Amino acid sequence: MQQYSAQPDRHAGTVPPPKRARRLRHLVLGLGAMAVAAVLAGTALSLWRMHEETTERAEEHLLGVAQILGEQTLRSMHAVDAILRAAADDAQTAGRLNRFAAPSERHRRLREIIVHAPYVRALLLFDADGKLVVHTATFPSPVPYGESEIFRVHRDRRATQTRPSLPVVARIGSERDLAVSHGLNDPDGRFLGVVAAIVDPAYFLGPQGLRELGPDGAVRLLRRDGALLTGYPIAIAAVTRNYRTSALFTQGVAAGRALIRHAGLAVAGERMSAIRPIENYPLVVTVTSSTDFVLRTWYRSAALFGAIAVVTAVFLGLITLTLARQLRIEEELKSNVMESEERLHAIIQSAMDAIITVDEQQRIVLFNAAAQQIFRCTSTEAIGADIGRFIRGRLLTPQPSYSAEFDEAGAPMHKMGQHLALTGVRAGGAEFPIDASVSRVQLHGAGLYIVILRDITERRRAEQALKRSQQELRGLSKAANEALEAERRRTARELHDELGQALTALKMDLESLRSALPPGLTDLWGRLQSMHVLLDGTIAATRRIAADLRPLMLDDLGLAAALDWLTHNFSTRTGIATDLVIDDTVAQVPEPIASALYRITQESLNNVAKYAHASTAEIRLERDGDWVQLLVRDNGRGIGPADQDKRGTFGLLGIRERVMLLGGEVSIRGEPGQGSEIRARIPLAAAQTREAVA
């Protein structure tokens, strides 16, 4: 036999959809990670550039402030130096130092010199011994000027100069003011004394710019030897500190750097200081600000941009994870669908029944292996062909019952017909019977018809053979029943006629013998009496047996009389009240209907007596058109499905068989506690058929 292969694999030579989905998911995850990294890296780069720009602007600002303060300090020092030189020249032109003894005149002359210099608070004039000769100050000074730095430096220097020496800048006690001094020498170079100016640095190092330097900002005026002269805020100037060993001096002033970073002296944290040396003077101006203050705006921007970057990265990450999860779900769904399709394909191909799928144009789209075997055609030849090539008959027409079921249920798949008897056509043209079931399914908006069929040639032959066998068995059973009824009729008549007559004659002879006996024979009379009783019982038993076999009145008087005798005898024997109603039109039905109805009534009453536990029974015999109907109803416990299918009992089976042999119908119903009902309907034509056969 030729073998027909299944359909080829649709996915052969291509990348399976789950693998493509997996690659796409990995690509999405990679792109998402790159996007998150790009956002974070771009934000970090932007913040770094912003940090650098902010730092550069802060450095430029510090350098600018230091330059401004340095220039102001330089101009102020030039002015102070000019005042000191003017005072020194005036003192030296006077001749000798003892002429300084005129304090009022000297005081007036010094006041005239500083009248236009508000930043010079006072001018002081000392002799060679450090004694204060004259001054313009309005406050007495507790400082021992002979030991002060502004005098000691000039005295110890002992330089021979025609002009005053370079000024010396120093602090006076704990005051904020500065002292700027020049030494005085005569034309011969002898040390004559010192002229000093008390300068208020607030005029050139004022705290006006401290707000721009922040809460930790500071302005300092240092000497190049590391001594702190003054500074702002005041807390810095109030602390006398030698900066020679500090990072501010060693890294900045001594190294000549314009800008340095260092740790704070009094406050923790990194500092940024701009350094400005004062030309021609041993002074250095430093402007300091904390890194935290410089970067305050950057910190806020960094926090804002960082939060935005984090939120953006989280958002991108969530989108990426959501897409990846969706792709993974789709991947799993596609994998499950492919697995289901493969499983379904394997099931369809291994099915014993032929399965054909047809589109709305009645073109074949699926043809499984069983269909190939049945129709002797490969799937390649069948797919795309019209279904009418293989099946003849109304296949795809919806049946009313299934359409109604579909309309109510609204299911995507509904049955259009089951066990449709159609004709199949093999590839060679041979026809054969098939049994088909058709369902319609909606798939992606398109309708498909699924036809499941099988070759029923052998089953049809077996059914025909079984039908012939059943007909023969029914005929045999009918003949056996008729023969049995005939034999019962003959036996009953022989029992009634011959045996009954013989027993009646014997009874008459026994009566004659008893009347002929002489009186006084008591034993013989007793024996005759016993024989008479036994003979009466035998006659009654003979009549009962004959009636049970077949009542003669059924043949002589008809069905109505036989049923009346049967029900009367049943009520007498069982005590169950019986109601018999017979329609006059069916009181005399012919054979074999009469015998069948009598036997059905007899078996029904036997069941009532044995199983029903009833108190009443009702028998109705009536005509229903061309049918005669018998109804036997009781008020007993009721009969259930289990009682009807009980094995080993043949009463109900006999009732069904008698009705079926005559082409009738029978129904047996019952409810627990509601009684039972047996309804038998036999066509009157059954008697005519028997007469025709006879």
| pLDDT band for position 53 (cuts 50, 70, 90) | very high
Encoded tokens for 385: 């062909």
Q: Whole-angstrom Cα distance, residue 417 to residue 58? A: 91
* 691 plus 585 within the same structural domain: yes
Which among 278, 294, 310 is the end of a domain?
A: 294
Question: Does residue 345 form part of some domain?
Answer: no
Which domain CATH number covers 404? 3.30.450.20
At a CB cut-off of 8 Å and minimum separation 6, what does 503 contact?
A: 535, 538, 539, 542
Q: What is the residue whose two structure tokens read 């259930």?
A: 640
Residues 249 and 262 in one domain: yes
The reply to whether 535 and 466 lie within a common domain is yes
pLDDT of residue 175: 61
462 half-sphere exposure, CB direction, 13 A CA radius: 5
341 versus 13: which is more confidently predicted?
341
pLDDT band at 49 (very low <50, low <70, confident <90, very high): very high
Q: What's the count of helices (H) and strands (E) in the chain, helices before strands?
A: 20, 21
Is residue 308 a part of any domain in this protein?
Answer: no
Q: Maximum CA pair distance of the chain?
A: 222
Please write the tens of the pLDDT for every residue from 562-603.
888 888 888 888 888 999 888 888 878 887 888 888 888 888
Q: Which residue has the higher pLDDT, 283 or 210?
A: 283
Say how far residue 378 (Cα) sits from the centre of its chain: 45
Tell me, yes or no, whether 558 and 693 share the same domain. yes
Whether residue 189 sits in one domain with residue 141: yes
Same domain, 513 and 444: no
Are 367 and 275 part of one and the same domain? Answer: no
Q: What is the pLDDT, as a whole number, of residue 264?
A: 66
The residue behind tokens 């005051």 is 175
What's the pLDDT score for residue 584? 84
Q: In terms of Cα–Cα distance, which of 628, 573, 635 is closest to 597?
A: 628
360 and 448: one domain? yes
**Assigned domain for 314 exists:** no
Domain around 384: 352-454
Whether residue 330 lies inside any domain: the answer is no
pLDDT confidence of residue 408: 42
Taking the model in full, what pTM does it have? 0.49
User: Does the residue 502 lie in any domain?
Assistant: yes
Domain count, the chain: 5
688 vs 349, more confident:
349
Please tell me whether residues 241 and 185 are part of one structural domain: no
pLDDT at 561 over 80: yes
pLDDT value of residue 409: 42
170 vs 552 pLDDT, higher one: 170
Residues 370 and 499 in one domain: no
Between 682 and 16, the more confident residue is: 682
610: in domain: yes
- Asked whether residue 592 falls in the same domain as residue 678, the answer is yes
Structure tokens at 364: 């074949």
Tell me the per-residue pLDDT of 350-382, one tens digit each, with 9 for 90 and over. 888 888 888 888 888 888 888 888 888 888 888
Q: Which pLDDT score, from 0 to 100, does residue 208 have? A: 65
Out of 403, 432, 454, pick the residue that ends a domain. 454
Residue 261's pLDDT is what? 80
The reply to whether 492 falls in a domain is yes
Whether the predicted pLDDT of 384 surpasses 50: yes
Q: Which of 145-159, 250-264, 657-671 has the lowest mean pLDDT?
A: 145-159
Percent above pLDDT 90 for the chain: 3
Domain stop point among 513, 530, 550: 550
For the cut 50, the answer to whether the pLDDT of residue 399 exceeds it is no
Domain shared by 579 and 675, yes or no? yes
Q: Is 307 within a domain?
A: no
Give 365: exposed, middle or buried? Use CB within 10 Å, 0-12, 13-18, 19+.
Answer: middle
Band of pLDDT at residue 647, cut at 50, 70 and 90:
low
